[in-house]
Amino acid sequence: MAHFTVIGLGRFGISASLELIHLGHTVTGVDKDPKIVEKYVEELTQAIICDATDESVLKELNLANSEAVLIAIGKDMQSSLLCTLALKNLGVNGIWVKASTKAHHTIVSKLGVSRIIHPEEEMGVRVAQSLNYPMVNNYLSIGHGIYVVEIHIKPTLHDKQISQVLGNVGRNIHAVLVNRDQEVFTHISDSFVLHENDTLLLCGTRKELKYIAPRLV
């Protein structure tokens, strides 16, 4: 269990906060609007009313105890940047920032934060990918152009071996695991036989995964 601080309790900030709590962590939520803080005071581990652009006020929050600080301030780019600068001055290492525009991203990237998030853009990409590849339940970029995708096995692939499904490109795509009726198989050979309703995790480059997508329908 870790402790996190989320600054800005709009829809994105509160969603992240509540999910972290659901995952077993503790969360301090910070917002300058007393009504918002009062609304979520019972749901968060701690809820604080404060101006996150004021470095002296942030210093009193003892942010060194947080595994990371998420700046989820919405469209007020100036407040987001001032908050980021204040946290950097306080020596906070794990700073995640929600960026609302390309200009915001460009400026924040110069400040050396841990990660910049574009929730609307990232969700838009996920929706587009889901529309284009309906057989893919979910996907995750793990860097260097490599992705892990979650595939729901359709009736057309029932009783087929992994080698039959992947074809010649199979040597460049790795089957990570198969989840079947709450049983997980992690040593997946080419001869492993898939069943309808299995969940299959595949790992490979975007180009290779895109190439085999028609085989997964």
CATH number at residue 149: 3.30.70.1450
Over residues 108-125, mean pLDDT? 80
Smallest CA-to-CA distance from 71 within 119, 39, 122 is with 119
Is 50 in the same domain as 27? yes
Burial state string for 85-100 with b = 16 or more CB within 10 A and e = fewer than 16: ebbeeeebebbbbbbb
Of 88, 117, 146, at which residue does a domain stop? 117
CA angle 133, 135, 139 (to 5 degrees): 70
Sign for the pseudo-dihedral over CA of 80, 85, 90, 92: positive
pLDDT (0 to 100) of residue 45 = 95
Neighbouring residues of 189: CB distance < 8 A, sequence distance ≥ 6: 162
Rounded to whole angstroms, the Cα distance separating 84 from 125 reads 26
* CA angle (56 as vertex; 51, 62 as ends), nearest 5: 90
98 vs 64, higher pLDDT: 98
Residues 145 and 161 in one domain: yes
Order of strands, sheet of 26-31, starting from the edge strand that comes earlier in the sequence? 46-49, 26-31, 3-7, 68-71, 95-98, 115-117
81's tokens: 């940047």
Question: In the listed set 101, 117, 133, which residue is the last one of a domain according to the structure?
Answer: 117
Q: What's residue 39's pLDDT? A: 94
Shared domain check, 136 and 107: no
- Residue 121 confidence class, pLDDT cut points 50, 70, 90: low
Above 60 in pLDDT, residue 77?
yes
* Domain co-membership, 151 together with 199: yes
Residue 50 has pLDDT above 70, yes or no: yes
Q: Which of 117, 134, 165 is the last residue of a domain?
A: 117
Domain, as residue range, for 167: 122-216
Same domain, 94 and 169: no
Pair (159, 101) in one structural domain: no
Q: For residue 81, is pLDDT > 60?
A: yes
